[in-house]
């Protein structure tokens, strides 16, 4: 099994942990960074739709980025991202055994790195997959990344893929060419009598699902369906062969 996750804009930049492996697509990351390094703070503010303070921060990040610096100072991806998904996962509270179980399963999709494995080295960055930026002859990051990411997923020796990424990131994959089953899990909360996706809860639940897989060493679609953390439960009526829907009622 491989588990697809989205990254987060929130990052833990005070880690003492060092990453152990090198990102698979580091050559492509260097090409993207060459483009980002050419952009001024004002251009970054427009590109990312952020204020001048954040633009200055990301300008510095881009200028400081290098392969050499990543190899020396890069922190492990799974511990560096710190958004709602990763708060749900709460990687720091997992046992060594649970972490080891996740090591070869986690794939974090990234606008800059393409794919990051759990212990891949990374440096802080800001580049969402949907960012409107052209790279070489590619009009956007979706076109830049679609073939390499899709080929990577096809080449792995896994029985199936669990997609817990957002649509923004999952759209960088041509699932029709991935030669193995792909299951997507989604999470709904009852609001005003109807089950709906609530963004903050949905993101956290994705992390909870990864935590559940690690804690109970889940290895099958049937095991995934048994997910029950924080009162979610599998809903057979709303699910189908490739989409697992989990619902939660108010307490």
pLDDT higher than 90, residue 222:
yes
What tens digit of pLDDT does each residue of 11-22 get? 999 999 999 999
pLDDT grade for 245, boundaries at 50, 70 and 90: very high
40 assigned to some structural domain = no
Nearest Cα residue to 22 out of 103, 154, 117, 126 = 117
Instruction: Return the sign of the alpha-carbon dihedral for residues 54, 206, 118, 140.
Output: negative
238 assigned to some structural domain = yes
pLDDT higher than 80, residue 31:
yes
CA 81 – CA 113 distance, rounded (Å): 13
3-class secondary structure, 200:
helix
49 assigned to some structural domain = no
> How far does Cα 111 stand from its chain's mean position?
10
DSSP string, 140-194: SHHHHHHHHHHHHHHHS--S-EEE-S-HHHHTTS-GGG--S-EEEEEEEEEETTE
Q: What's this model's pTM, rounded to 2 decimal places?
A: 0.97
What tens digit of pLDDT does each residue of 169-195 get? 999 999 999 999 999 999 999 999 999
35 assigned to some structural domain = no
67 assigned to some structural domain = no
What tens digit of pLDDT does each residue of 111-135 get? 999 999 999 999 999 999 999 999 9
Q: What is the largest CA-CA distance in the chain?
A: 54
114 and 143 Cβ atoms separated by less than 8 Å: no
What is the span of the domain harbouring residue 114?
A: 2-22+75-248
Mean pLDDT over the full length of the chain: 97
pLDDT grade for 251, boundaries at 50, 70 and 90: confident
43 assigned to some structural domain = no
pLDDT at position 200 is 95
What tens digit of pLDDT does each residue of 51-95 get? 999 999 999 999 999 999 999 999 999 999 999 999 999 999 999
208 assigned to some structural domain = yes
CA 231 – CA 219 distance, rounded (Å): 21
Q: What percent of the chain has pLDDT over 70?
A: 100
pLDDT higher than 80, residue 223:
yes
Domain count for the chain: 1
139 assigned to some structural domain = yes
Q: What percent of the chain has pLDDT over 90?
A: 98
């Amino acid at each position: 099994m491989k588990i697809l996750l989205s990254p987060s804009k929130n990052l833990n930049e005070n880690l003492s942990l060092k990453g152990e492996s090198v990102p698979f697509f580091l050559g492509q990351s260097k090409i993207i960074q060459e483009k980002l390094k050419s952009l001024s703070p004002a251009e970054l503010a427009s590109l990312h739709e952020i204020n001048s303070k954040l633009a200055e921060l990301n300008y510095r990040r881009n200028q400081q980025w290098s392969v050499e610096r990543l190899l020396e100072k890069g922190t492990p991806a799974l511990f560096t991202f710190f958004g709602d998904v990763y708060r749900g996962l709460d990687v720091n509270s997992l046992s060594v055994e649970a972490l080891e179980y996740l090591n070869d399963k986690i794939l974090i999709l990234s606008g800059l790195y393409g794919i990051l494995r759990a212990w891949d080295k990374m440096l802080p960055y800001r580049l969402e997959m949907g960012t409107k930026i052209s790279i070489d002859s590619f009009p956007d990051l979706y076109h830049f990344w679609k073939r390499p990411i899709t080929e990577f997923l096809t080449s792995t020796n896994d029985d199936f893929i669990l997609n817990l990424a957002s649509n923004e990131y999952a759209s960088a994959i041509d699932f029709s060419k991935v030669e193995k089953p792909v299951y997507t899990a989604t999470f709904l909360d009852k609001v005003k009598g109807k089950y709906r996706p609530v963004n903050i809860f949905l993101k956290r639940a994705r992390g909870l699902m990864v935590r559940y897989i690690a804690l109970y060493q889940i290895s099958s679609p049937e095991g995934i369906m048994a997910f029950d953390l924080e009162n979610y439960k599998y809903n057979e009526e709303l699910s189908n062969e490739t989409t697992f829907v989990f619902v939660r009622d108010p307490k």
